[in-house]
Each structure stands twice: as structure tokens, then as C-alpha cells.
């Protein structure tokens, strides 16, 4: 448990350092990025919709990756249950999350496909 806590603290420290470094770079005359909602509301051109298509396709990839992480975790919990070090609910919880992430991925892919279609129709 202690090693996991040290690892978590180390990761948090590294993320904070990266955030500070990137935050310092961002202040060098970079205009603030539009929010996703603003990008959707402003989407008119082919490039706008292609950018949104790319965004949603990336979100789908991330959701599928999270589903895969939970598949691996579920297998680990099954082994832990067999060894008497975990309860069966942990694997079940992972499977519920897998279903959720797979559903999210499918929805993101649908959104990407819709923006692909809008890009094709745009001038």
C-alpha cells in the first residue's frame, strides 16, 4: 500500500510540474482556446467539422482504452478473488464500467461520423 501511495504522490508531483511548465508557456501570447461547446456552436466550415470529427474520434479511442484497462483490472480481480484477497463485486464493477466505456466509445464514434458527414456537406 505504501508503494502505491508513493507512486501516486510521485505522479501527482510530476503532473503539477508539467502543468506549471505548460502554464508558463501558455501565457506567451497564446489566445485562449474555445470550449468544445463554442467550437460546436461556431462550426460552419469543412475544417471546423473535420476538427470536431477528429476530437470525437480521439474521445472514442480514449474510451476504448479505458474499457481495456478495466478488462485487465477485472482479470486481476478474478485472480485476487481466487487467492482470497478481494471480493467478487470488484470484477463485476469493472464489467459495468467496461459496458459504460464501450457505450461512450460508440456514441463518440457516432458523433465523429456525423461531423464527417457535415464536413462533406460544408463548403
The Cα–Cα gap between 123 and 107 comes to 26
Residue 44 domain-assigned? yes
Residue position matching grid coordinates 474521445: 59
Residue 66 has a pLDDT of 98
More confident residue, 35 or 1: 35
User: Is residue 29 in some structural domain?
Assistant: no
What is the H or E stretch that residue 25 is in?
helix 2-26
pLDDT at 31: 75
Task: Tell me how many degrees the CA angle 105-111-65 measures, rounded to the nearest 5.
Answer: 20
Specify the pLDDT at position 1. 46
User: Domains in the chain: how many in total?
Assistant: 1
pTM: 0.71
Please give the residue range of the domain that contains residue 85.
35-121
Please give the helix or strand (H or E) that residue 60 lies within, else none. Answer: helix 46-82
Structure confidence by residue, pLDDT tens digits, 15-48: 554 454 455 545 556 678 899 999 999 999 999 9
**Which pLDDT tens digit goes with each residue over 77-115?**
999 998 888 888 999 999 999 999 999 999 999 999 999
78 belongs to a structural domain: yes
Would 67 be classed as within a structural domain? yes
Quote the CA–CA distance of 87 and 69 in Å, as a whole number. 19
Residue 25 lies in a domain: no
Q: Is residue 8 part of a domain?
A: no
Evaluate whether residue 49 is within a structural domain. yes
Report if residue 2 sits inside a domain.
no
User: pLDDT-derived band of residue 8, with 50, 70 and 90 as boundaries?
Assistant: low
Amino acid at each position: 500500500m505504501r508503494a502505491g501511495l508513493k507512486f501516486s504522490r510521485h505522479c501527482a508531483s510530476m503532473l503539477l510540474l508539467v502543468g506549471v511548465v505548460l502554464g508558463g508557456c501558455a501565457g506567451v501570447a497564446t489566445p485562449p482556446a474555445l470550449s468544445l461547446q463554442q467550437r460546436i456552436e461556431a462550426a460552419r466550415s469543412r475544417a471546423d467539422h473535420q476538427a470536431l470529427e477528429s476530437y470525437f474520434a480521439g474521445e472514442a479511442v480514449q474510451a476504448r482504452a479505458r474499457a481495456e484497462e478495466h478488462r485487465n483490472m477485472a482479470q486481476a480481480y478474478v485472480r485476487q478473488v481466487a487467492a482470497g484477497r478481494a471480493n467478487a463485486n470488484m470484477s463485476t464493477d469493472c464489467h459495468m464500467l467496461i459496458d459504460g466505456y464501450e457505450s461512450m466509445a460508440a456514441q463518440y464514434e457516432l458523433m465523429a461520423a456525423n461531423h464527417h458527414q457535415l464536413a462533406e456537406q460544408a463548403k
